[in-house]
Amino acid sequence: MSQLSIKTEGLTKQFGKLLVVNNVNLEVPKGHIYGFLGPNGSGKSTMIRMLCGVLEPTDGVGEVLGYDVKREPESIKQRIGYMSQKFSLYEELTIKENLDFYSGIYGLKRKESRQRQQELIELSGLVGRENQRASSLSGGWKQRLALSCALLHRPELLILDEPTAGVDPVSRRIFWDIIKQLAKDGVTILVTTHYMDEAELCDEIGFIFFGNILIKGKPAELVKKHGVRNLDDLFIQLVEEQENNPLKGGGLTYV
């Protein structure tokens, strides 16, 4: 059996009476790209925050890289890379200064930091731009710099929450080429996206609708099984089915 980077059983999060993540079972093997899809407000970021060890689940269990999300969140935080839509860069600092800053946060030694920065600058195509300020970079370059910052400490698991929102198609393609290369090198990737062309590039996807995982599996197999033309059609079909179901409707549940 392959090694699992993420395993959850019945993972649940309520904010007061609002049920945001309901009983989610997830298994992500090492080196896989797992895509989390679902409408706005469905609980994707909440699920991610629990897996990063920054939000305590209400119920259920979760293991990330072998560490328990409730008991060992600090061990998880040190070992994962995380990147959000907002990129968390220092706009006034140059590319190199941003990388230096994050190296410091991760406690990299000088020589190690220099070597790793060089590798990442090459991987992300930022060669020659090292002294350019982050504020002057276009969306695609900023995104690749943020990815490099998240990879400085060689995380075994990279969690990406809508990393390509607002980025042009060419930059999105370059970004995904990097993601695929990382997975090939054994890094596990958990990514949320609203783009179905990106979902197709995942080894497996899970479709979450207001707290509940409705379907999961390999993209091509899901399309075949549901007799639809593509993931776009499947996504729309699932949402419509839910919205037309008087017992469920659209929206989160109060318990």
Q: Which parts of this chain interact with ligand ATP (CB under 6 A)?
A: 15, 18, 20, 38, 40-46, 252
**Which listed option, Mg ion, ligand ATP, none, makes contact with residue 38 (CB within 5 to 8 Å by class)?**
ligand ATP
Closest to ligand ATP by CB, 45 or 78: 45
Residue 68 parent element (H or E): strand 67-68
Give the shortest CB-212-to-Mg ion separation in angstroms. Answer: 16
Q: CB-wise, 39 or 140, nearer to ligand ATP?
A: 39
Q: Is 84 a residue that touches Mg ion (CB under 5 A)?
A: no
The CB-of-20 to ligand ATP minimum distance in angstroms stands at 4
41 binds, among Mg ion, ligand ATP, none (CB under 5 to 8 A by kind): ligand ATP
**Nearest Cα to Cα of residue 95 among 45, 50, 145, 57:** 145
User: Restricting to residues 115-154, which ones interact with Mg ion according to CB under 5 A?
Assistant: none
Which residues, other chains included, contact 167 with Cβ-Cβ below 8 Å and sequence gap of 6+? 139, 140, 143, 175
Q: For residues 227 and 75, give the distance between their C-alpha atoms in angstroms, rounded to a whole number.
A: 43
**Smallest separation (angstroms) from ligand ATP to the CB of 216:** 16
Helix, strand, or coil here: 120?
A: helix
Which of 4, 30, 41, 45 touches Mg ion (CB under 5 A)? 45
Q: Are 230 and 223 in contact (CB under 8 A)?
A: yes
Cα angle: 91, vertex 46, 29; to 5 degrees: 95
Q: Which residues sit at the interface with Mg ion, rule CB under 5 A?
A: 44-45
